[in-house]
Amino acid sequence: MATDDLDFQIRKRIEELAVWLDQENATRLIEQKHLDAGTVERLYWHLGYFQALNDVEQRRSLEAHNKDIEPTNREASRGARNYH
């Protein structure tokens, strides 16, 4: 997946979540319990943030890995014959 595609998907998901948060949880967002130490809301907020960062890192690592192997695949296919 190209970086531009990944960035587009991230921006799209952010927009979707913003709409959902506005519609479903307006009062809870105002309370901001995730800022209070020792609350379940704070735990879930950090867990969600942690998972989001891991997801982005994994996707970027996969993208970098795919870029590294693409030239090898192209070089290997140059000499291959199509038997279909």
pLDDT means per 10 residues in the chain (84 residues)? 80 90 77 91 93 90 79 55 48
**pLDDT given for residue 84 in this prediction:** 44
pTM assigned to the model? 0.56
**pLDDT given for residue 83 in this prediction:** 44
**Sign of the dihedral through C-alpha 56, 60, 61, 65:** positive
Residue 84 DSSP class: -
**pLDDT given for residue 36 in this prediction:** 93
